[in-house]
Amino acid sequence: MHVQMSGITKRFGETLANDSVTLGLGAGEVLALLGENGAGKSTLMKILYGFYAADSGGILIDGKPVVIDSPRAAMAAGIGMVFQHFNVIPALTVRENLLLAHPDAPALLPTRGAGQDDWLGTLKALAPDLDPGARVADISVGQMQLLELAKVLNLDAKVVILDEPTSVLTPLETQALYKLIRKIADEGRAVILITHKFEDVVTCADRVAVLRQGRLVADQSSEGMSADDLAAVMVGGGTIRHADRVAAPASAVARFEVRGVSAGDAFGSISEVSFQVAGGEIFGIAGVSGSGQDILADCLAGVRALSGGEVILDGVAVHRGGDGRPDIDNVGYIPERPLQNATAADLDLRVNLFLKKLSRFPFWLKWGSADAETARLLEDFDVRPRDPRRTAGALSGGNLQKLVSARELTGPRKVVIACYPTMGLDIGATQAIYRRLFAYAEQGAAVVWISEDLDDLMHFAHRIAVIFQGKILGTVTREQADRNTLGRWMMGAAA
């Protein structure tokens, strides 16, 4: 099957999201669709999937024009898509989720016995270790993605679109996914990978198409292309401003101190975490996802009750037991999963930017200078679209991340806690966030930076600690750090 999108143009108000894009794809091919945040990658694919209607242009399958005006029509035409935000029902089991979307599922499901696994073929092939009886709420993000992929393959999709599939995966899961994508392609299906990671392109794709500001600027074989080549195509004439390293702090006196902190709930826990961060120091925390990073970050920021220990800022215990009482003036906090943890999704960008500064407004709200400030923040942090009245939930993952940074990485701070602050950001935006984050260290704040990117941690952090199953396994200075030791700690080998 050959799919051809020809002359696709799509506008959202003033923004030209796709500008007469023509792109084709044949059976057995893996195409990486590369571009910066907001370049129009997702829009183009949502048009192919029937989610949006193009303003002009059309889609041809095997040379014949087809009308794809809904996801249902797309599926009928053999096009399936796995979204960044999964469409799974957490309260149901893996099997139930799969059967809900299965075209031939029986009306009455066998609840026990051999018959109940007759429908699991695809999933078994993709994820032999996944227990079909597990509740989706309890499985990992990588497994959820495999479940979504199995749902799409069950529909006999000839073209599979994956929207930034590796942005939520651990390095190991990413490797497994690459293998799987190759396997799917070898079966004669076509795969489109929406991505902004060069690694995805280099390791996995046959061809790379690059979008820049809605226009297709490259469509070529990816063979022999290096990350630098790709970066050059993606950002066009512009150059990426890399963040600079921050000099080590002059004094090692602790500004921010964590003493024996424990906390937890049904979903995970941390125990006896202790470390000190000097003013001006960047303290990196590495670890595979799900090691308790989110709980630790919440405890440091004071938004979660501690079951033991204390958090000390400038010699004063700011959090100890009981309910958290966040210090919103002195502590900047970027939590993981900003949609759930850092924004009011159904309220507009302006409200979300001033969420923590409401007390500075008069009782009868007057926005006044806050409107100009909103416009400036959206501009400075390159949040797209720059519409202060748009709801936060309507932003793409990367832009949401920038929005939260715009709130948390402005104004004076004594401590900044950043949990995966560059998740979903392209290379230019990542460096821009790093510059702002590390600038706080330069100004003397204590910076705690939780990341999964060992290369970046080893380049920018002054010291790196590794968290495993809620405990700090070891801490090294940048000079002493080597990938192998850190990697072993991340897998639980004792220091």
Partner 1 sequence: MKPFALNLPFLKTPTATALLPTGASALVFIGVSALFFALLGHEPFGLLWQVVLGAFGDKYSFTETLVKTAPILLCALAAAVPARLGLLTVGASGQFYLGAWLGTGIVLLLAETSGLVLLPLMLLGAALGGAAWSVIPGFLRARWEVNETLSTLLLNYVGALIVEWAVYGPWRDPGALGFPATRVLPDSIKLPTFLESRAHLGLLFGLVLAVGLHLLFTRSRWGLSLRIMKSNRKVAESAGMNYKLNVILIMAIGGAIAGLAGMCEVSAIHGRLQPGIALNFGLTGFLVAWMAGQHLIKIIPLSLIMGAILAASDALQLFYSLPAAIAVVLQALLFLSVLAVGGFLSKRKKA
Instruction: Tell which one of 365, 369, 389, 494 touches partner 1 (CB under 8 A).
Output: 365
CB of 266 to partner 1, least distance (A): 14
Q: Check: CB of residue 338 under 8 Å from CB of residue 404.
A: yes
Q: What angle do CA 138, 142, 147 make, to 5 degrees?
A: 75
CA 62 to chain centre: 35
Q: Please, which residue, 305 or 439, has the CB nearer to partner 1? A: 305
Q: Distance between CA atoms of 295 and 285, rounded to whole angstroms?
A: 13
CA 487 to chain centre: 22
Q: Please, which residue, 161 or 353, has the CB nearer to partner 1? A: 353
Q: Which of 228, 275, 273, 280 is nearest to 249 (CA)?
A: 280
Considering only residues 2 through 31, tell me which ones interact with partner 1, judged by CB under 8 A. none
CB of 345 to partner 1, least distance (A): 7
Q: Is 285 helix (H, G, I), strand (E, B) or coil?
A: strand
- Print the binding letters for residues 245-284 with partner 1: x by CB under 8 A, - otherwise: ----------------------------------------
Q: Please, which residue, 417 or 481, has the CB nearer to partner 1? A: 417
Burial 221-256 (b: 16+ CB within 10 A, else e): ebeebeeebbbbbbbeeeeeeebeebebbeeeebbb
- Residue 137 makes contact with partner 1 by CB under 8 A: no
Q: Distance between CA atoms of 98 and 122, rounded to whole angstroms?
A: 10
Q: Please, which residue, 320 or 483, has the CB nearer to partner 1? A: 320
Q: Please, which residue, 113 or 364, has the CB nearer to partner 1? A: 364
Instruction: Tell which one of 114, 118, 224, 364 touches partner 1 (CB under 8 A).
Output: 364
CB of 156 to partner 1, least distance (A): 26
Q: Check: CB of residue 245 under 8 Å from CB of residue 439.
A: no
CB of 135 to partner 1, least distance (A): 21
Considering only residues 341 through 360, tell me which ones interact with partner 1, judged by CB under 8 A. 341-347, 351, 355-356, 358-359
Q: Please, which residue, 10 or 350, has the CB nearer to partner 1? A: 350
- Residue 340 makes contact with partner 1 by CB under 8 A: yes
- Residue 361 makes contact with partner 1 by CB under 8 A: yes
Q: Please, which residue, 103 or 364, has the CB nearer to partner 1? A: 364
CB of 392 to partner 1, least distance (A): 9
Tell me how many residues contact partner 1 (CB under 8 A).
26
Q: Check: CB of residue 35 under 8 Å from CB of residue 196.
A: yes
* Residue 15 burial by Cβ neighbours in a 10 Å radius (0-12, 13-18, 19+): middle
Helix (H) or strand (E) segment spanning residue 18: strand 15-25
CB of 408 to partner 1, least distance (A): 11
- Print the binding letters for residues 290-329 with partner 1: x by CB under 8 A, - otherwise: -----------x-x--------------------xxx-x-
CB of 372 to partner 1, least distance (A): 19
- Residue 333 makes contact with partner 1 by CB under 8 A: yes
Considering only residues 98 through 117, tell me which ones interact with partner 1, judged by CB under 8 A. none
Considering only residues 35 through 54, tell me which ones interact with partner 1, judged by CB under 8 A. none
Q: Check: CB of residue 201 under 8 Å from CB of residue 34.
A: yes
Q: Please, which residue, 142 or 335, has the CB nearer to partner 1? A: 335
Find tokens 């095997």 and name the residue: 62
Q: Distance between CA atoms of 223 and 373, rounded to whole angstroms?
A: 46
CB of 355 to partner 1, least distance (A): 5
Q: Which of 171, 164, 151 is nearest to 39 (CA)?
A: 164
Burial 133-169 (b: 16+ CB within 10 A, else e): eeebeebeebbbbbbbbbbbbbbebbbbbbbbbbbbb
Q: CB neighbours of 98 closer than 8 A, spacing ≥ 6?
A: 119, 120, 123, 132, 147, 150, 151, 154
Q: Please, which residue, 303 or 457, has the CB nearer to partner 1? A: 303
What ranges make up the beta strands (E) of 293-336?
A: 308-313, 316-320, 331-334
- Residue 417 makes contact with partner 1 by CB under 8 A: no
- Residue 420 makes contact with partner 1 by CB under 8 A: no
Q: Distance between CA atoms of 68 and 108, rounded to whole angstroms?
A: 32
- Residue 363 makes contact with partner 1 by CB under 8 A: yes
Q: Check: CB of residue 203 under 8 Å from CB of residue 178.
A: yes
Q: Please, which residue, 324 or 397, has the CB nearer to partner 1? A: 324
Q: Please, which residue, 179 or 325, has the CB nearer to partner 1? A: 325
Q: Distance between CA atoms of 187 and 473, rounded to whole angstroms?
A: 43
Q: Please, which residue, 158 or 407, has the CB nearer to partner 1? A: 407
Q: Check: CB of residue 48 under 8 Å from CB of residue 59.
A: yes
Number of Cβ within 10 Å of residue 362's Cβ equals: 7
CB of 323 to partner 1, least distance (A): 9
Question: Residues interacting with partner 1, by CB under 8 A?
Answer: 301, 303, 324-326, 328, 333, 335, 340-347, 351, 355-356, 358-359, 361-365
